[in-house]
Amino acid sequence: MLTREGIRHLYHFTDIYNLPTIGKYGILTKKELEEKDALKKIKTGGNTLSKQLDLRHGNWDKVSLSWCPKIPMIYYREQEQHLCYLVLDLNLALMDGVYFTDVNATESGNMRDLGLQGLSLVDFNCVRHDYPYPNRETKRRKQAEVLIPFSINTQWIKRVSFRSESSLKEAKRRCKIFSDFACKFNIDEDLFILPSAYVKNHLITTTKPSKDISPNWNLRNNNLFCLNEVIFVVVEIGKLTSDTEILLHINDTLLDKRIIRARGDVIYYKDLPTDNPGIFTITYYIKGQKENIYQFRERIEVVENDC
């Protein structure tokens, strides 16, 4: 039935910050996260009201999945969080105890049920409908959910998709001790709405970018440099439609704070100090609507030896 409706996978979106927790435990229900004292350590994107709604509607002990990416609420979440998509095995929907809802599971008056009765509540024509929606009802029903009453092992995760090379690099850095999980990481821009600025790529290099010299994004970061060698952190920011702030730190010291007023795709770069030997952490942030939502980190080593 589901494949006839064009459904091939289930989807769960989360902040990249949460991936190490998923790599360790799988996708936990909020109740399980609370029991492990881990709920305050992850970025849920919710607030006190959403917790109250989850408790009221019986969602607290379930993992919420979607039938498709690009659901309406994602438009705002992409501007507030550094999101990725977990693409899951469709057979999860066939497990015992799984509920299906007709609209978002926190919406007042939502209908839900198990099995075929639950699936009959889902309007798959609305699920498949892309923006712009013809009416409010289509928009509501596109957000129908699949509620899994148990934690989801990483074996159910087919892949984890990111919107850019930089996001992929950052996720691999965060999950380097979960190699079996990280091997499922890939880039799939088609899953994202992309309503706002995002980081497409970044690189630490000895070549200063210019109008005539574009960064070679295919180079791997060497991250080993000589004392007093001239090096640059280079960041490509895409889809700039408004003024965007970027902050660059080396260890805990703010090195650069800049408002980028250009539009479209922009290359930002800044020279890095190499006048002292040692290992340094380079961190940069891109401001979102509410906070620094895009955080990326690289480590470099500056050595005194001859190069």
Report percent pLDDT > 70 for the chain. 95
What is the tally of structural domains in the chain? 2
Domain-ending residue, one of 172, 191, 210: 191
pLDDT in tens, 36-67: 988 888 888 666 667 777 878 889 999 999 99
Residues 169 and 205 in one domain: no
Domain-ending residue, one of 191, 210, 243: 191
Q: Is residue 50 part of a domain?
A: yes
Q: Which of 23, 56, 54 is nearest to 38 (CA)?
A: 23
Q: Is residue 1 part of a domain?
A: no
Per-residue pLDDT averaged across 260-284, rounded? 91
Rounded CA separation 132/141 (Å):
14
0.75 exceeded by pTM:
yes
The pLDDT of residue 99:
98
Question: Which residue range is the domain that position 178 belongs to?
Answer: 9-191
The pLDDT of residue 111:
97
Residues 186 and 202 in one domain: no
Domain-ending residue, one of 139, 157, 191: 191
The pLDDT of residue 307:
61
- Which carries the bigger pLDDT value, residue 41 or residue 176? 176
Residues 108 and 205 in one domain: no
Rounded CA separation 36/275 (Å):
45
pLDDT in tens, 91-114: 999 999 999 999 999 999 999 999
CA angle 170, 172, 176 (to 5 degrees): 130
Residues 271 and 170 in one domain: no
- Which carries the bigger pLDDT value, residue 291 or residue 153? 153
pLDDT in tens, 293-303: 788 999 999 99
